Amino acid sequence: MKKHKINIITLGCSKNLVDSEQLATQLKGGNVEVEFDSNDSNARSIVINTCGFIKDSKEESIETILSYAQARSLGKIDNLYVIGCLAERYKKDLQKEIPEVDQYFGVNDLQKIVKSLDVNYKEELLGERSISTPKHFAYLKISEGCDRTCSFCAIPLIRGKHQSVPMDLLVKQAKNLAEQGVKELILIAQDLVSYGLDLYKENKLAELLKQLAQIEKIGWIRLHYTYPAGFPDEVIELMANEEKICSYIDIPLQHINDKVLKLMRRGHNRKTTMKLISSLRERIPNISIRTTLLVGHPGEGQEEFEELKEFVKEVQFDRLGVFTYSEEEGTYGAKNLTDDVSEEIKAERSDEIMALQQEISLKLNQNKVGNEYKVLIDRIEGEFYIGRSEFDSPEVDNEILIPINGSKLPLGEFYQVKVESAQDYDLFGYVIQ
């Protein structure tokens, strides 16, 4: 007989999602029924996995806690637990401000959380994973924390120092995911390119990728959250030669102006950044580059911003996202820099960059009309199958829409698709095999 049911609400990034999944794996191991982000759940116990990265995400986390705190005080639920980055960062304040929550836990408290939910923690379950994503793709978190000191970032304050997950455990998890039907593995971390430097005293990302590529049922391996400084050359070599590794890279660059990059304490400059981009494009000709830029950082005047715009026009990124600077307490930026760019100008600059990128994305997509791509179909939406090529990551990138027209294609499978038309962020096509 199932013990009881718990609904895990996950906010924030894919790394938080993996934490929620690892908690679910332990709970299911203890005969607890688990739901993920269910809006119409009748679960009497709720766990909210919060985000504490920047102002907007903190506000979303607090709103979510408050809505369940009300349900708790009205007796609609019996237990309410809050975990994750916001709880790690502001536990004492939250305990005072929102006492309706039964318990708050930090980011390294998996065993404590499991125990407080009346389940025995099982070390051996770390090699397994109960996934909340569609069954054909999953995230693999290869390390936690970060040793870098970017001026604007609170993550090292929340998640601590860089810690690689042992390679044998990652390979075991990946095999378990493949047995569950996962075809696409998305590698995530705070700083993917530092994998192994702590645990093995040398970079082991290439070796990990080789081992993951040997798992037969895995078709695609995708790299997210790489860092432009210290990017291992052997990884570029492997990406160029190992078919399973998607010709796709997510590499947050944040800026291109040397003065701003220095103030951001990023450890890379215009010259090294341009060199890395051209090296990626020369050695992996069809690579799709996703980046994230930060506008409105202290010291970013109009001249520096103009340089950033020129950079976006020149490089023509395949995928691009923009954040505005948010002064985060405890960071180098909050302690040493003045948040001198107004929120209005930050928003204007973000809009300007995204307007530029929309034009670029449309042009790049139009160049794909007539081409054929291997596509993984994720879901059905209205009259369309929604899929992605190796150049697109779930939830953040472009999608390919394929009219259903009465066909019954199994989801979560690869198909050969010909592109018929393009929009700024979507392609339209049909299955040819």
Strand-pair category, 426-431 with 399-403: parallel
Residues with Cβ within 8 Å of 342's Cβ and at least 6 positions away in sequence, in order, are none
Distance CA 235, CA 432 (A): 33
Residue number with CB closer to ligand SF4 (155 or 422): 155
Shortest distance (Å) from residue 225 CB to ligand SF4 = 7
How many Cα atoms are found within 13 Å in the side-chain-facing hemisphere of 17?
19
Query: Maximum distance among all alpha carbons in the chain?
Result: 66
The distance of closest approach from Cβ of residue 210 to ligand SF4 in the complex, given in angstroms and rounded to an integer, is 25
> Residue 227 interacts with ligand SF4 (CB under 6 A)?
yes
Nearer to ligand SF4, 164 or 190 (CB): 190
List the interface residues with ligand SF4, window 175-214 (CB under 6 A).
Answer: 190-191
Confirm if 293 and 255 have CB atoms less than 8 A apart: yes
Q: Rank residues 156 and 394 by Cβ distance to ligand SF4 and give the closer one.
A: 156
Per the CB < 8 A criterion, the answer to whether 312 and 356 are in contact is yes
Nearer to ligand SF4 among residue 149 and residue 371 (C-beta): 149
Question: Footprint of ligand SF4 on residues 134-153 (CB under 6 A)?
Answer: 146, 148, 150, 153
The mark string for 92-121 relative to ligand SF4 (x by CB under 6 A, - otherwise) is: ------------------------------
Q: Assign 221 to helix, strand or coil.
A: strand
261 contacts ligand SF4 (rule: CB under 6 A): no
155 binds ligand SF4 (CB under 6 A): yes
Judged by CB, which is closer to ligand SF4: 183, or 224? Answer: 224
Beta carbon of residue 322, minimum distance to ligand SF4 (angstroms, whole number)? 15
Least separation, in Å, of the C-beta of 410 and ligand SF4?
Answer: 38
Using the Cα atoms of residue 250, residue 256, residue 258 and residue 260 in order, give the sign of their dihedral.
negative
- Identify which of residues 188 and 401 has a Cβ nearer to ligand SF4 in the complex: 188
* 142 Cβ contact list (under 8 Å, min separation 6): 164, 165, 170, 187, 188, 189, 192, 195, 205, 208
Of 12, 52, 156, 196, the one binding ligand SF4 (CB under 6 A) is 156
Shortest gap between Cβ of 31 and ligand SF4 (angstroms)? 37
Q: How far is the CB of 107 from ligand SF4 (least distance, A)?
A: 13
Q: Which pairs count as long-range contacts for 92-101, CB under 8 Å and 24+ apart, including other chains?
A: 94/65, 98/65, 98/66, 98/69, 100/69, 100/70, 100/72, 100/73, 101/65, 101/69, 101/72
Q: Which is nearer to ligand SF4, 136 or 319 (CB)?
A: 319
| Min separation Cβ 289 and ligand SF4, Å | 17
**Residue ranges of the alpha helices (H) in 264-301?**
270-283
Of 190 and 350, the one with the shorter C-beta distance to ligand SF4 is 190
Comparison of 48 and 85: residue with beta carbon closer to ligand SF4:
85
The helix, strand and coil proportions of the chain, stated in percent and rounded to the nearest 5, come to 35, 25, 40
Q: Are 292 and 252 a contacting pair, CB within 8 Å?
A: yes
**Nearest approach, Cβ of residue 160 and ligand SF4 (Å):** 11
- We find the least distance from the C-beta atom of residue 399 to ligand SF4, in angstroms, to be 27
Between 5 and 148, CB nearer to ligand SF4: 148
**Shortest gap between Cβ of 190 and ligand SF4 (angstroms)?**
4
Query: What's the full length of the chain, in residues?
Result: 433
| Number of residues binding to ligand SF4, judged by CB under 6 A | 9
In order of 143, 178, 195, 238, 240, the CA distances from 205 in angstroms are: 11, 20, 5, 10, 15
| Residues forming the site for ligand SF4 (CB under 6 A) | 146, 148, 150, 153, 155-156, 190-191, 227
